[in-house]
Amino acid sequence: MSAPASFPLSRREFEETYRRVPRLCVEVVIRQPDGVLLVQREIDPCRGQWHLPGGTVFFGESLPAAVVRVARRELGVSVTAGDMLGYLEYPSVVADGYWGWPVGIAFAATIVGGRVVGSDEGRQTGWFTDIPANTVREQADFLRPLVPSAP
Q: In degrees rounded to 5, what are phi and psi of residue 147?
A: -110, 105
Q: What is the pTM of this model?
A: 0.87
Name the amino acid, one letter, at 22. Answer: P
The per-residue pLDDT for 7 is: 67
Residue 151's pLDDT is 46
Q: What is the CATH number of the domain that holds 129?
A: 3.90.79.10
Domain that holds residue 51: 11-145
Mean pLDDT by 10 residues, the chain (151 residues): 59 77 93 94 85 94 97 97 96 76 95 93 91 95 82 46
The reply to whether 6 falls in a domain is no
- What's the total number of domains in the chain? 1
Q: Which helix (H) or strand (E) holds 35?
A: strand 35-40
The answer to whether position 58 is within a domain reads: yes
